[in-house]
Amino acid sequence: MTLDGVLVQATPQLNWAWFGIRLTPAALLSDTRAYPDVSEPQRRAEALTQEQAWLAAQWSTAHGARWELRYTNDPLRCVLLGRTHAVDPATAESAAAALRTRLATTPRHVRAEPIDDPAEVGSALAPSGMDPRGCHELRKRLAWSVCTRPETGRKVCFAVTPLAPDGRSWEPVWQELARSSTPTVLSVYLEPYAPPPGLTAEIGLLAQEYSRLAAAGQRNPLWTVTAPPDQFAMAAAPAYAEAARRYTGHTFRLRISIAAAGPIRPGFPELVAATVGGGVVCRPPASEIGVAWRNMAALNRDWLDETYRQGSPAGLLSPTEQILTDLVDLTEAAGAFRLPYEIDGHLPLFTATGAGPRPAAPSVRPARRDPGAPTFER
């Protein structure tokens, strides 16, 4: 028997299960602490600390667990969607139900209400009316430059900038979303990820390579000059050394997507990018809009090559470098995956909403795994 609110679809290889949870502010941030007379930034910081602890407690790679926040407008509302999979359909369903229970145990400033109708889950999954003018992907910034040192065989140097969330308020993001007259969805996807030993070793090798390119080269015996450091590698080397230390153990894969039925308010994607900690806004070409829609409709993270390589030469990003463009630690993840809240004295942005329309669940037809996601092979 299908569990209430769990949407299941089978393929010959795997069974997939999705669920949804409605999220609303449960109380003003000033009502959730013993001393309500502290500053607004401190209240936000305490809410972020609670959310980060909650997120850390959810980390598990069992049954391919992943989840995605969906902020939508008209009216402003928030839904948390999740997905699991298993060979056995009953296992996939029970894993989804268990994950839903865990995720619904939210910090005290958030109220969680599991969705009990799988048709509503299907409706929440599939963004309708995606217009290329309103579709954006927010990524960690990827920079590149032609390599000036040939000894490692590298043609192009890359640099991936980690997110640096600064605890700024999310109210401006929600305000801009609520003001928009175009139906718009802001999605933040997280997938718990345990970097395999081979990937960890590859990141270490990248750090060594960039350290070598950032130093003066060996003197050529036929010449009296020393090869100068690659200037781009000099700037990138510290980030690779930090990545080798940072991305171990409990990490996440992150995708931030904006989908709209038409042109969106100018500056909105850039506002979101700044709020999550310095991301960059990318516009998918028409050829990749379908894959972008599928990522949201099935909770995938398929690789959008033209979009995600951000103008760098095609075919030169290694699988390890691809993974680094969406790999985040807990601090980066918590800065991007913010639950709804409201502050005393501010205009309430989230209102009580019903379940909304309940059309038939769409057919998402997921593949056996995320086929476009970078995979590590050594």
Query: For the segment 78-90, what is each residue's pLDDT rounded down to a tens digit?
Result: 999 999 999 999 9
Band of residue 360 on the pLDDT scale cut at 50, 70, 90? very low
Nearest Cα residue to 351 out of 5, 43, 19, 22: 22
**pLDDT attached to residue 348:** 82
Per-residue pLDDT at 38 exceeds 80: no
What average pLDDT score do residues 290-304 get? 95
Two tokens, residue 19? 């669920």
**Predicted pLDDT at 2:** 58
pLDDT score of 203: 96
Give phi and psi for 134, each to the nearest 5.
-110, 10
In angstroms, the CA 288 to CA 284 distance is 6
pLDDT reported for residue 371 = 35
pLDDT category at 338 given cuts 50, 70, 90 is very high
Tokens read off for 337 = 């995956």
The mean per-residue pLDDT over the stretch 299-327 comes to 96
Give Cβ neighbours of residue 118 (< 8 Å, ≥ 6 apart).
2, 5, 6, 7, 8, 361
Q: What's the rounded Cα separation, in Å, for the pair 230 and 215?
A: 8
Q: What is the pLDDT of residue 316?
A: 95
pLDDT computed for residue 246 by the predictor: 95
Helix (H) or strand (E) holding 327: strand 327-328
Residues 100-109 have a mean pLDDT of 95
Query: Does the structure show a pLDDT above 60 at 140?
Result: yes
| 196-208 mean pLDDT | 95
Query: Which pLDDT value is given to residue 352?
Result: 43
**Residue, of 340 and 360, whose pLDDT is higher:** 340
pLDDT at 21: 97
Determine the pLDDT at residue 200: 95
Q: How far apart, in whole angstroms, are the C-alpha atoms of residue 258 and residue 268? A: 10
Residue 269 burial class via C-beta count within 10 angstroms: exposed 0-12, middle 13-18, buried 19 and up: buried
In this prediction, residue 74 has a pLDDT band, given cuts at 50, 70 and 90, of: confident
Q: Give percent of the chain above pLDDT 90.
A: 72
| Mean pLDDT within 363-378 | 42
The beta-carbon contacts of 233-237 under 8 Å, at least 24 apart in sequence, are 233/147, 233/149, 233/157, 235/159, 236/143, 236/157, 236/158, 236/159, 236/210, 237/207, 237/210, 237/211, 237/213
Q: Which pLDDT belongs to residue 374?
A: 37
CB-based contact 332:162 (threshold 8 Å): yes
pLDDT at 35: 42
Q: Which band of pLDDT confidence, cut at 50, 70 and 90, is reported for residue 157?
A: very high
Residue of 49 and 39 predicted with greater confidence: 49
The confidence score (pLDDT) of residue 30 equals 54
H helical segments located in the chain: 40-58, 89-103, 118-125, 171-179, 197-213, 231-246, 268-275, 286-298, 305-308, 319-324, 330-336
The backbone torsions φ and ψ at residue 198, rounded to the nearest 5 degrees and listed phi first, read -65, -40
Phi-psi region of 96 (alpha: psi -120 to 50; beta: other; left: phi over 0): alpha
Residue pair 278/141 in contact by the 8 Å Cβ criterion:
yes
Dmax (CA) for the chain in angstroms is: 79
Q: What's the CA gap between 257 and 139, in Å, rounded?
A: 9
Q: What value does the mean pLDDT take over residues 182-197? A: 96
Mean pLDDT, rounded, for 118-128: 90
Q: Is the pLDDT of residue 295 over 80?
A: yes
The pLDDT assigned to 128 comes to: 80
Confidence check: pLDDT of 362 > 70:
no
Quote the percentage of the chain above a pLDDT of 70: 87
Higher pLDDT: 31 or 348? It is: 348
How far out from the chain centre does Cα 108 lie? 24
For the stretch 261-287, pLDDT in tens is 999 989 999 999 999 999 999 999 999
- Alpha carbons 299 and 125: distance in angstroms, whole number: 8
